[in-house]
Structure 1
Amino acid sequence: MSVDATVTALFRQEWGRIVATLVRLAGDWDLAEECAQDAFTQALRRWPTEGTPPKPAAWLTTTARNRAIDRLRRDGIGTAKLAEIAAAGPADPPEPDGIGDDLLRLVFTCCHPVLPFEARVALTLRAVAGLSTAEIARAFLVSEGAMTRRLTRAKARIRAEDLPFRVPGSEELPGRLTAVLGVVYLLFNEGYSASGGDDLVRERLSDEALWLGGLLVRLLPREPEAAGLLALMELHDARRPARLAAGELVPLEEQDRCRWDHERIRAAVTVLEDALRRGRAGPYQLQAAIAACHATAPSFAATPWPEIAALYGRLEAMAPSAVVRLNRAVAVGMSDPDRGLALMDDLSAALREYHLLPAARADLLRRLGRLPEAAEAYRAALALAPTGPERRYLRRRLAEISP
């Protein structure tokens, strides 16, 4: 493997751990990121002539730590802090539990509830996943300057609030874990089905969410909801190749199931089954069970809609929302369109700006042969649809039923 490829792989594996270690030791997020970046730059410059060290991760950590000591000494930081960093011990990567300690602290700090939700997402991508500010800004369709300000405000809030750099205790963990999983799932959803712009899918965001989900499962192996979220994302992402054709949206009913990654689907189902056996089913596990019903059905016609509707009923009881009620109405409507429409009518006030409500009504009306009403619903959905591919799909459907 070339030096460039080695450093790239190490960046993905070690960035978050190195930053987390330096944040713990120095207490300065900007300094931690700067010194970590400098260590990787030094590797690219020196390893081609000096050779890759026997323990490259330890070399990177030591180089970053020494750089932090130099910066603190130059900036006149007290000797106690310098001694603490210098005495941190050998930089060999610790055992898995040790890796988890600092990384978990970093993840939970990035996702602290005191921070605005969009700041949690941005900070996690920057500090844990190592994306540049420019990359994060492009992913969320904002200027680099705006994203820089968002990150700066988040770090300032952490300092001002003196947020503890620690893993929450057992009494805090369930609520705090929910915040962490919410960040990862929002990131995945923004990649899987973008909330705006010309592209329906932003693969980089989905890939980062999947990586973070896998990281959480490794760091929190006894938390079934972390496993449930990973299974849910894998089940959805396994169908990614069939969701678009030449940039156009392909609905589930028309997708070529031969293009789904069935090996990933089987692996995700195994992860889900292991999580469910722990007897603590939560919202992500239930959503993953619903996704598994879709992903394992041999055809759209064979989809177990009553089972899906029942799972949505359990999900609504656990995590009620108008969107969950809409999804349950769709599942009910696939077996009983008239009842599904009646359930959707009850949601018109709560979801009046949500394009998928009129789109779902249009689909059921079309299946019932009530084409003028379906056309009206398609037009309502078209007026609200946020992305180009979705608008083009709705226009095609409208054209199919228009005289």
Structure 2
Amino acid sequence: MTDFAATRAMFDIPEGMTYLNGNSLGPMPKASPEAMMSFLNEEWRSELIKGWNTKGWFMQPNTLGDRIGKLIGAEAGTTVVSDTLSIKVFQAVGAGLSLVPERKVILSDTGNFPTDLYMVQGLVKLKQDGYTLRTVEPESVMDAITDDVAVVTLTEVDYRTGRKHDMKAIIEKAHSVGAVVVWDLAHSAGAFPVDVSGTDVDFAVGCTYKFLNAGPGGPAFIYVAPRLIDVVEPVLSGWYGHEAPFAFDTDYRPMPGKIDRMRIGTPSIASFALLSAALDVWEGVDLADVRARAEELMTLFINEVSARCPGVTLAGPANMDERGSHVSFHFEHGYACMQALIDRKVIGDFRAPDMMRFGITPLFVGKSDIMKAVDTLEDILRTEAYKEDRFNVRSAVT
């Protein structure tokens, strides 16, 4: 069984703070400062450029990729880390299109994270070859997977409501009509068990700064099914994915037979130091335990808010089988109410037009945090503290 008291002790959360926003930015592991100082003093300072060999920097996209792969059910050698999630979405969708060149439709849903849609829109414009992006309501995705669809690209968990797609069913439907599927696991990896191998995922991408706690702007990852690694076109062809990067040929040849072909350019080794420290937290953690505890805490939170907080209503499904690991509530004055909560050291965030969003991350969140959040929310509503002018001034980041 996972020792959640031990994992909570591994995070540096300010005294008195109830942090329910790990679904947006994970808190800092206590090992992070030492990991960064070790990189600065024992790697970069002392080794200088030798570090690419002596400290294994060149292969860190792969070694760290395999560590993340264990958290998403991926085989060794199928996941690499680098770049940003937006870049990886572009790369994966572009690679998917190359597998079905006779089709021109990319299918997504209106619950997808906007940047994923923006990257696809940019790809469509760049190709200038009759490609179209078709979006439907999340509940209509299955019916919209038809034999003219080339790529289905979805975020498994809706960033607003927490609604979770049925990954297995969607993949089976897509494959039955010859379509490729790209999954964004930004709100999945580290939140609950994912089995990209067992569900026959084609491509998966994700970030590391949410549930994986690698820090703001932490690097992204991409997974490619083993059956595709030797045939997929990288689309973004950087020197790091070249068959012989230090031959410095002027023509691109993708690395044959390896996930390395999905590497692009020189990665941020400094950010890798923070990611490595964050992944150490997962040693000895069972994601099935994480999911079971998250369901208990989400159920408690939803029930308590429903009973004690009038005017606040649940967004997304109540059925835990259909939910990721965050809970959102509709409230007319959601932005101001969230600012009042934050002022009292209960940290969540706001998503337009009226959603208060709370991440339920058992590695550092327990029952007492849930009850404090509900107690605080109840008092803010009772006293109408959210009406104070200072809570109604919009910040750049919500």
TM-score, length-scaled by structure 1: 0.26
> Higher Cα Rg: structure 1 or 2?
1
TM-score, length-scaled by structure 2: 0.26
Relative contact order (C-alpha < 8 Å, sep 6+): which is higher? 2
